[in-house]
Amino acid sequence: MINSARLHSDLSRLGRETNMLLATIETLSAEELAAPSLCEGWSRADVIAHLASNGRSLVKLIDWATTGDEQQLYASPEARAEEIAALAALPRAELVEKVRTAAEFFAEQSERLTGELAVEEVDLHGKVIPATSIVALRIAEVVVHHHDLDTAWTIEEADPDSQLNAVEAAVRTMRAKDAPGMTLVTEEGDEWVIGDGALHVKSDREGLIEWLARGQARYIEADGPLPVLPAW
């Protein structure tokens, strides 16, 4: 189980990040929602629709952790894409409400993680996630995709622990997708080794998130050429 104090601290932080996300979304007109995001091929509405879908689908990981019954977030990649497209096509007010209610549902269901856990780990598209890190995973989704909306808000405004959650989620993806060997070091004192750790890469947490998640290397220092990374 997750220590109750830790869970409530994580959920409080998730609540703050979600409230900032919702505040940003509320400022966007229908025309602005249709504009491109930093996620290649996705509009801002697509990103917001993904967050609405993700908030509910991640509850399946909570079900898996608490019951031991393996769950798939979506029936297929096609089903996921269809759900996101349908949500993105909703009128602005309805889409905003979908994000809000999905966030509330996830937070409510997360309380179950303070009980006995049936498994220690769950699997997300080939990435092994500690059951105790499901809330942290949702925090990572919220802050990275808030940044993807390409508004005045940037990842620098996220809580430092939320930035850490985001880097950890990105590292998990790099390992699952056999990214080239790297040792990642942050100015905040974090370190992760991927593969053989051959290439030494340094930045602050925000810089690593931008590079690992979106390929933006403007704040990256390395002792060799930067590789092309697998998509997050």
Residue 109's CB: how many other CB atoms inside 10 A? Answer: 19
Closest to 137 (Cα-Cα) out of 112, 106, 116: 106
Residue 190's CB: how many other CB atoms inside 10 A? Answer: 16
Confidence at residue 1, expressed as pLDDT on a 0 to 100 scale: 66
Confidence at residue 210, expressed as pLDDT on a 0 to 100 scale: 96
171, 140 contact by CB (below 8 A):
no
Confidence at residue 190, expressed as pLDDT on a 0 to 100 scale: 97
Confidence at residue 4, expressed as pLDDT on a 0 to 100 scale: 82
The pTM is what?
0.95
Q: Name the residue type at position 170.
A: A
Residue 205 makes CB contacts below 8 A (sequence gap 6+) with: 160, 163, 164, 166, 167, 186, 187, 188, 190
For residue 29, what are its two tokens?
Answer: 């007109």
Beta-bridge partner residues of 163: none
Distance of alpha carbon 169 from the chain centroid: 7
- All domains of the chain, ordered by start, with CATH? 4-153 (1.20.120.450), 163-232 (3.30.1050.20)
Question: In this prediction, what percent of the chain has a pLDDT beyond 70?
Answer: 100
Which residue ranges of the chain lie beneath pLDDT 70?
Answer: 1
Confidence at residue 36, expressed as pLDDT on a 0 to 100 scale: 98
Order of strands across the sheet that contains 221-222? 191-194, 182-186, 199-203, 221-222
Confidence at residue 126, expressed as pLDDT on a 0 to 100 scale: 84
Confidence at residue 32, expressed as pLDDT on a 0 to 100 scale: 98
pLDDT in tens, 11-53: 999 999 999 999 999 999 999 999 999 999 999 999 999 999 9
Confidence at residue 118, expressed as pLDDT on a 0 to 100 scale: 96
Confidence at residue 157, expressed as pLDDT on a 0 to 100 scale: 97
Mean pLDDT of the chain: 95
DSSP E strands, the chain: 121-124, 127-130, 182-186, 191-194, 199-203, 221-222
DSSP summary character for residue 36: B
Give the relative orientation of helices 4-27 and 160-176 as an angle to the nearest 10 degrees.
Answer: 90
Distance CA 21, CA 17 (A): 6
116, 1 contact by CB (below 8 A):
yes
